[in-house]
Each structure stands twice: as C-alpha cells, then as structure tokens.
C-alpha cells in the first residue's frame, strides 16, 4: 500500500520577523531547528525498516526541516521546485507583510485571483503539483515524504483527493508549521487522508 507523508516546514524567520514568505529564502529559527530535530528523531524511528523516498522544496526552511530526517534514515533528499511555496511575484521580494497588505490587489482567496503582478494563483500551484502527485504514485518505495510549505500543502490536499481546483473558491485544508499529514491509496484506487495537522512530533 502506497503511503505519503507530508511535513510542513518548521518555524522559520518569516514567522516572527513580519516579512513575506513565498519564494523569499528564509532559514529556520533556533526553535524551528529543534522542531526539525524532533521530527527527524521521532518520525525517523517510526520509518526504520521501510523503503522511503524523501522529497523537499529547495527553499532553505524546507530543506533544513528535511535534513535531520534524511540523516536519521540514511537517505538523500531530492529537491523539487514543484514543492515551493506560492510565488508572490517579484514585487514582494524582501517586503514585509504590512507592505503586502497595503499594496496587493487581493489576497488570492479565489482560485484565479492573482494578488500582484507575477504572483501565482491557486490554480497555478495546483497545476504544478498535479504531475508530481502522479509521479510519486509510480515510485517503488512504500513511503514517500514531502517537505513543503503551508500554502503549497493546502493545494496538495485538494490535488490528492482528486478535487477540481475550483473547490478552493469555498474551502481549504490547512496545517501549521511542523505539522505532519499522512495519506494512502486504499485498495489500489481510493485516495485517503489518514491524518492532517499532527503537531505531536514537535512537542516536548
């Protein structure tokens, strides 16, 4: 049975400094590094003896979250730009969240709304994640892990369930920093969400 585990990157600098996330390449905070260490130890212990493929966004806050788990399992990380957070466009690089709220055209709530010139819509992210969803189902490993970002993983949840992107006009499935999700394919065809938003791995 194919199992997919998602990890939302741990606390990073943009969570506490008031700056935009997106493709701005922030590092984990000291707390975030400790959270990543806990995930690596605890999830890694659960996965010992399993065949595992580990993918991560190539942005620092995701790759730093993935590193302790890769070390624990003794495997390499494959970095994929498809797992990056929403691209907010060139105008938001190095800008604060306050600046963004003042200057954006909208907040991208609707599937085809583009908050600023050059920014990705929810549909754009859906379309870049969809091929990866198909790809991982063909992998030989029994467990595939994605380390990604809150916005991107909210879209992944919709893609995995086979729902059209338009459902994101009225609903969403979100986690928090350091959250674990688990998905599987039951009886060879039924895509299931087994758990989502599990923060137990980062707690004391």
Question: Which tens digits make up the pLDDT trace of 28-79?
Answer: 999 999 999 999 999 999 999 999 999 999 999 999 999 999 999 999 999 9
pLDDT of residue 158: 98
Nearest to 147 by CA among 198, 196, 78: 78
pTM: 0.97
Phi-psi category of 39—alpha, beta or left, where left has phi over 0 and alpha has psi -120 to 50? alpha
Low-confidence ranges of the chain (pLDDT < 50): none
Domains along the chain with CATH numbers: 3-88+122-202 (3.40.50.1240)
- B/e letters for 130-148, b = 16+ CB within 10 Å, e = fewer, are eebbeebeeeeeebbbbbb
Integer Cα distance of 135 and 170 in angstroms: 28
Nearest to 2 by CA among 136, 131, 122, 197: 136
pLDDT of residue 144: 98
Integer Cα distance of 130 and 55 in angstroms: 15
pLDDT of residue 2: 85
Integer Cα distance of 162 and 39 in angstroms: 28
pLDDT of residue 109: 96
């Amino acid at each position: 049975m194919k199992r997919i585990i998602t990890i939302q990157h741990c606390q990073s600098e943009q969570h506490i400094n008031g700056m935009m996330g997106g493709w701005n390449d922030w590092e984990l905070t000291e707390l975030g590094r400790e959270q990543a260490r806990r995930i690596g130890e605890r999830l890694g212990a659960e996965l010992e003896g399993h065949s595992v493929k580990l993918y991560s966004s190539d942005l620092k806050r995701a790759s730093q979250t993935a590193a302790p788990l890769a070390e624990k399992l003794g495997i390499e990380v494959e970095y994929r730009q498809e797992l990056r957070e929403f691209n907010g466009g060139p105008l938001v690089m190095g800008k604060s969240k306050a600046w963004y709220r003042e200057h954006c055209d909208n907040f991208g709530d609707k599937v085809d709304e583009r908050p600023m010139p050059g920014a990705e819509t929810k549909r754009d992210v859906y379309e870049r994640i969809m091929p990866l969803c198909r790809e991982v189902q063909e992998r030989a490993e029994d467990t595939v892990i994605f380390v990604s970002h809150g916005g991107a993983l909210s879209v992944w949840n919709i893609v995995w369930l086979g729902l059209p992107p338009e459902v994101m006009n009225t609903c969403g499935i979100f986690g928090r920093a350091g959250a674990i999700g688990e998905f599987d394919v039951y009886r060879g065809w039924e895509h299931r969400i087994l758990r989502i938003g599990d923060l137990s791995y980062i707690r004391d």
